[in-house]
Every structure is written in C-alpha cells, then in structure tokens.
Structure 1
Amino acid sequence: MVLVAHGSRDPRAAEATRALARAVEAARPGTRVLPSWLDHTDPGPTEVLRALAADGHAEAVVVPLLLTAAYHRRVDVPAAVAAARETAPELAVRVTDVLGPADGTVDAGLLAGLRRRLAEAEPGGVDALVLAAAGTRDARARGSVGRVAVALADEFGLSCTVSYASAAPPTADVAVARLRAAGARRVAVAAYFLAPGLFHDGVVAAARAAGAVAVSGPLTDAPELADLVLRRVDAATPV
C-alpha cells in the first residue's frame, strides 16, 4: 500500500503522513504501508512504486491522501503511476478514491474523525460550526467540501458553514465573525486538514482572533481515518 500525500515544507506534515502509515499498518497486520509525497518530501510515489516492483511485488494499491478530487487526484497521482509503469509494466496498480466524499457520499468514518478532533479541542457547548478547508479553485471540489459541512451540521444538529485558507472565500475569521454577528456565541472550527502546516496554523490564529472558542487539530492518524483508508483500499479498482 502506497500513501500519497500532497507534501509540505513543514516537517510536521511529513511526520503526520508517517504516523498515518503506522496506524494503517497496525489496523491491518501483515500489510506493508509506505508513505510518499507529491512535493517537498522524498520519496515520491513513482520512486516507491518502482522500488516495490524491483523487490518483486506484483501488486500495489495507491491511496491519495487528499480530501477532494481536484488537480492532484486527477492529474498528479495518475501521472506518477504512469511514470512508474513505464519501467515496471509488470506491477499491477490500483488507485483508490480520495478520503473526502466519493460519489457524493460522506463516509461516516470521516465524520467520526472530525468529531474526535473537535472533542479533543474541548470546546464545551457550541452553537455553530465552521468547517475550515485548505481551499481550491475547483468548483466540484468546493462542492465536495460543502457536502461534508452539511453532513457535519446534521451530525451535530447545528449550522455549519465552510471557510477556506486559500483560493476561495470566506476565510475562517470571516466565517466565524459572520456566525457571531448572526447571534452565535460559541463557534467552534472543525479543521478539514489531514496534516499540520502553514494553512492550519493560519486558520487557528484567524479563527481565535475572530472569537472562536476552539479550533480542532488535523485528522492526522485518527483511528477513524486509518479505517477509512482501508475501506478505500478494499473498494479500489485497477488502473
């Protein structure tokens, strides 16, 4: 199994990916789980797949550690797999769906992981939520984030609005301020991130400055996320 993360200059992000790989291995003993990154951190997925083929492995499953099926899932991941198969055509490769909504369905485990991280942030009673995502210019990907916000609102029985750290409005501070202006007094922010880094740090600072009572940590190696990875693997089809 090859986990493919976006990659970041922040070393905490790479360690979060390694931690998730360890959690997935622990959840499915006997399976080798290798982390890789599209940028900033080595090794890349092409290198890992070629090494697996050289070691005699006949099959690999690639898991994009992404929350939306935007450019990286549509272009970068398939390109990495194609490059590996140019020199290792004997390696059978399957690629899973992203960890965010697949076919419009929000996985219950994803919601459970978000709930876990919110509980760890100890917000106490809250009366509104913000789902803070990294951001994308891809309208379909933003729609995917919106579906998670709707599901989270249903899960908590509260209103939940979306914010973005980049590429699209509103930012977390604006989203929190709007909810407070509308009458909410205890707004918590659910971080829709897989790993820590600059974007998550910015969300924490901005949301706190706007009056949020809590901002959750990234999903990282939450048990629910490891289980979701395995469900994606079991449902993957060959490329």
Structure 2
Amino acid sequence: MRSAHLSRPIRSVPAPVAARAADPVLLVAHGSRDPRAAAATRALVRAVRAARPGVPVSASWLDHTAPGPTEALRALAVAGQQRAVLVPLLLTAAYHRRVDVPAAVAAVRAAEPGFAVRVTDVLGPVGAEVDPALLAALRRRLVEAEPGRFDALVLAAAGTRDARARGSVGRVAAALGRELEVPVRVSYASAAPPSVGAAVARLRAQGARRIVVSAYFLAPGLFHDAVTAGARDAGAAAVSAPLTDAPELAGLVLRRVDALRAGPDRRGNPVPAVPLAAATRIDAA
C-alpha cells in the first residue's frame, strides 16, 4: 500500500490586482450553538474581502446566530442596494440548500419586491465535478496537521440522510484519494454510517498501518470535536482542522460568485476568482 507524504511548502494565493464594482455578497452558514462556528464564518468573510478588495461581503446564519439570511438581505435592500448574491456555505446540496435557503430568499422577495437575489451553487461538488480549490483547502489542512507519511485516509463529514448529498461526499473522497494515491473511506458524524472509528478500523483490517483523518467541515463545533475524539480513540495518526478561512476556500467562494455572473455555465470555469495556476498546491511525494 503506497504511503503519502505531504511535504512541499504552501504558496500563497495572490489577491486580484484591481477589484471591480460588484453586488454585495452574503455568505450563509448553517449556524451552531458553539461560538467557534460563527467566529470561523466571520474569518471566512474577512478572507473573501481580502481576496476581492472593494466587494461588500457579510455573513448570516440559518440557525442559532443572528442575522438570518432574510434579515441580512432586507438590511441590504433598506440600505439602498438593488441586488445581492447569496453564497450557501454548505458542502452538500441537501435539505438546507433545497429548503431553507430558497425559503429565506422567497421571504425577502415578498417583503422587498424590487430587490433581486441570486443564489450560487454550494461549495461542495457541482454534479460530477470536485473543484480543485476545495481539494487544495483539504490538503492544506492536512499539511497543518503534520501527519507525516500515511498509507490510508478517512474523509470525515457531518452526515446527511440525503443519498445524493452522500454521493457528493464520496466524490470528494475519491478525488482526494486519487491526488494522494492512498485508499480512502468516508465517515459521518451523524445521520449515516460508518463512524470515523469504524472507517479507521475497516482500513486497518485491509492492511493500512498509518491512517489520517481529513475533516470535511467548514467550522469547528460538536461534530468536529466528536470526530477528533473518535479518530484518536481508533488510533488515527492525525486529524485535520476544519476549513474555516483557508485561502483556497475564499477563492472557491469567489469562483461560485463569478460563475453565477458569467451566465449559464455553472461549473465555475469561465471567470475564476483566483487563477488555478496561482492557487495553492500541496503535492504528495
């Protein structure tokens, strides 16, 4: 079984030389009772602002933290804005993207009929495509966890009952495994099996000796804490931190915004927020 080693230095992602006038961008996070989650979203807001100076960027949450997206969008309308772009900070297009986000937008349109809102794709895979920036962010966090050489990987996600959403997590795991050239398993913190401990045990039974866990989370909180504890109890060598404000994630947010502005192509290719040639790369030896 081949051993992966994340060793090359991280190159920073350059900010655009000049910003262009743009509609306000509202990031919409899931929300959590854990204050670390809201702090992570605010950190991502700052990272997006830094990557695209001059673009108004703000945050909202679907639950537990104010403002909610309806309130935040109405505030923009009251302030005189005519349009806004909403970016769901979600890694799968499950219930929150299919139900909660459209409901929030519908409420704004009913209250402010002259205010236009456009919604981007989620940050996770769009169809069969896994954005290179998402993989680069996951690899960055693995480097920071200092795993050394490893011969298998678990991608630990929050969990969902939506089979299509689980399929998108599987596509991320497969793409990450191909890049690192190691076997990979998916685990879930809730709603679906297997647990991270079971995934680690399965890989060990298949012959892996040094297993690391890549956390497929945008922010810290109860789920990431549980994954970290379960992975350590199962003997995993390292667990990465959530993606939070990784520069690649900020670039991915802007790629989603730019893809929406570009028109019908939803793949994020026409107007990349950060040139892929300049994006961070972390290569496996």
TM-score of the pair, normalised by structure 1: 0.98
What is the CA-CA distance between 1:213 and the residue it aligns to?
Answer: 0.2
Within a 5 Å distance, the mapping from 1:153-232 to structure 2 comes to: 153-232=177-256
- Aligned-pair distance for 1:58? 1.1
SS in 1 for 2:114: coil
Distance 2:80 2:128 in 1: 37
Tell me the CA shift for residue 48 of structure 1. 0.5
The C-alpha deviation readout for 1:10-39, integer Å capped at 9, x for no partner, is: 000000000000100110000111100000
Identity, % of aligned pairs? 75
Residue 46, structure 1, aligned to residue 64, structure 2: no
Match of 1:18 in 2: 42
* C-alpha deviation, 1:91, in angstroms: 1.2
Which amino acid is the alignment partner of residue 211 of structure 1? G
- Choose which of 29, 44, 52 in structure 2 pairs with 1:5: 29
The structure whose residues are more often helix, as a share, is 1
Aligned: 1:150 with 2:171: no
**Residue 178 of structure 1: how far off its partner (Å):** 1.2
Q: 1 CA distance for matches of 2:128 and 2:93?
A: 11
Determine helix, strand or coil for the equivalent of 1:31: coil
Give runs of ≥4 in structure 1 deviating > 2 Å. none
- SS of the aligned residue for 2:186 comes to strand
Is residue 119 from structure 1 mapped to residue 143 from structure 2 by the alignment? yes
1:56 corresponds to 2:80 = yes
SS in 1 for 2:146: coil
Q: Which residue of 1 aligns with 2:116?
A: 92
Q: Distance in 1 between matches of 2:160 and 2:113?
A: 34
Count of matched residue positions in the alignment of Structure 1 and Structure 2: 238
Q: How far apart are 1:231 and its partner, in Å?
A: 0.3
Distance in 2 between residues matched to 1:212 and 1:25, nearest whole Å: 36
- Match of 1:236, SS state, is helix
Unmatched 5+ stretches in structure 2: 1-24, 264-285
TM-score after normalising by structure 2: 0.83
User: Counterparts of 2:246 and 2:148 in 1: how far apart (Å)?
Assistant: 21
State the 1:149 CA deviation. 0.5
- Give the counterpart letter for 1:161 in structure 2: R
2:128 is matched with 104
CA–CA separation in structure 2 for the residues paired with 1:220 and 1:176: 24
1:235 to 259, 262, 281: 259
- 1:78-108 per-residue CA deviation (whole Å, 9 max, x = no partner) reads 1001101111111111100000001220000
1:80 maps to 2:80: no
